[in-house]
Amino acid sequence: MKVALLHDYLNQYGGAERVLEVFCEIFPDAPIYTLFYDEAKTLGRFKGKVKKTSFLDKKFISKNHRTFIPLMPLASSLMKIGKDYDVILSSSAGYGKGFNYGSDAKHVSYCHTPLRYAWEHEKYFNWHPIFKIAATPAFWYLRSWDYGAGQKPDSFFANSEYIAGKIKNYYNRNSEVLYPPVDSKVFYRDKKIKKKGLPGQGYFLAAGRMMHYKRFDIIVEAFNKLDLPLVIVGGGPELDRLKKMAISPKIKFVPFVSENELRNFYNEAEAFIFPQIEDFGLVAAEAQACGTPVIAFSQGGAREIVEDGVTGMFFDSQTPEALAAAVKKFLTMKFDAKKIEKSAQRFSKEKFKKRILEAVNF
């Protein structure tokens, strides 16, 4: 059985790319088709696996890809996969599911989210009203294209119940929920690692790509007032602004680290802070696999990861004040690391691989 892997674009290494990496483990001979590819930005994880890219595969475009969003549907439609494959497995938050392939191939799409910029652009673009009006035709075009692309797969997996609802709402398609995989051989509770500092006074942790919608700014503002130790691991376009905001000397920024180093951070932290509305939230699931409770905003995929009062806790307003209050409450509570670790077994890589193999063997 010949399998082709389709992915929107490869110019960063986040949760979606980690899912693609597991697809590569399941199907080691399967080539990857993607709009553009940056080997360095994806840490060399897909070296030698990318077979074809689009006309957008230019360094300038890869570095500024959001500027070229209106061209991506065209580039996707022109991506010809050929008729040599029995199965098409797409990993998509928009464009990958719309690539051109032989009609006889069975297409299974793992959907991280329907195309955000088509259906929820108000959340991701903070433009002047005049520019919003001027851009309206482009958003209508993206929505029309994404709806059509959403009819192509034979079946859908959604990475959460939250996204399954969007697939039904935007595409009128049913989907099966299959949570993204957490590698228990990498992320696990290490009993040798102790929390840093005094009990209840170790550091708090946040990690990920520093994008505006992930709301790292809320974390920084809250911990400026709390005067508690905070470590933020990662990087991205918001990094410089966040560093300027951080007036507390107890806030520390750490660049992206290896998975083993990240496991150590998860294990050392008192709690993992997760203030965004996320499709799922792989970093939160990884933190729990290490036995660390999660303090999360009570919307999106976090509601499927955190059991309030057992594996973490929620706060209900996306503000620094609400987060600060949640952290103070957290310091009065006790959590069982063993229970938290056990809860994260729902997200095991082994379960994920088994279900994907079942799905492609029609």
Region 333-339: mean pLDDT is 92
Supply the pLDDT for residue 131. Answer: 52
Distance, CA of 168 to CA of 171 (rounded, Å): 6
**3-state class of 215 per DSSP?**
coil
The whole-angstrom separation of Cα 18 and Cα 205 is 21
Whether CATH 3.40.50 fits 3-178: yes
Q: How far apart are CA 205 and CA 198, in angstroms?
A: 16
- The whole-number average pLDDT for the span 158-169 is 96
Q: Which CATH class is domain 204-346?
A: alpha beta
Could you tell me how far CA 157 lies from the centroid of its own chain? 15
Based on the number of CB atoms within 10 Å of its own CB, is 309 exposed (0-12), middle (13-18) or buried (19 or more)? exposed
DSSP β-bridge partners for residue 208: 234
Residue identified by tokens 């609400």 is 322
Q: What is the pLDDT of residue 20?
A: 96
Beta carbons of 292 and 262 less than 8 angstroms apart: no
Q: How confident is the model at residue 126 (pLDDT cuts 50, 70, 90)?
A: low
Distance CA 194, CA 173 (A): 47
CA dist 137 and 151 (Å) reads 22
Do 183 and 164 meet the contact criterion of CB atoms below 8 Å apart?
A: no
Confidence (pTM): 0.88
CA distance 77 to 358: 29
Q: Which helix (H) or strand (E) holds 128?
A: none
- Give the residue-averaged pLDDT of 142-153: 94
- pLDDT band of residue 129 (cuts 50, 70, 90) is low
| DSSP codes of every residue in 229-240 | -EEEEEESTTHH
Per-residue pLDDT band at 132 (split at 50, 70, 90): low
Decide if pLDDT at 200 tops 60: no
Q: What is the pLDDT of residue 192?
A: 84
Start-end of CATH 3.40.50.2000 domains in the chain: 204-346
On whether the CB atoms of residues 257 and 233 are closer than 8 A, the answer is yes
Residue type, 11: N
The answer to whether residue 187 scores a pLDDT higher than 90 is yes
Q: Are 211 and 239 within 8 A, CB to CB?
A: no
CA dist 11 to 7, 25, 113, 265, 286, Å?
Answer: 11, 20, 18, 25, 23
pLDDT of 198: 47
C-beta pairs of 309-315 under 8 Å, 24+ apart in sequence = 309/333, 310/335, 310/336, 310/339, 310/340, 310/343, 311/335, 311/339, 311/340, 311/343, 311/344, 312/271, 312/272, 312/288, 312/340
Residues of the chain with pLDDT > 70, as a percent, come to 93
Q: How far apart are CA 292 and CA 311, in angstroms?
A: 8
Note the pLDDT of residue 64: 85
Encode pLDDT of 266-312 as tens digits: 999 999 999 999 999 999 999 999 999 999 999 999 999 999 999 99
| Distance set, CA 167 to CA 90, 104, 110, 140, 282 (Å) | 15, 24, 11, 18, 20
Q: How confident is the model at residue 26 (pLDDT cuts 50, 70, 90)?
A: very high
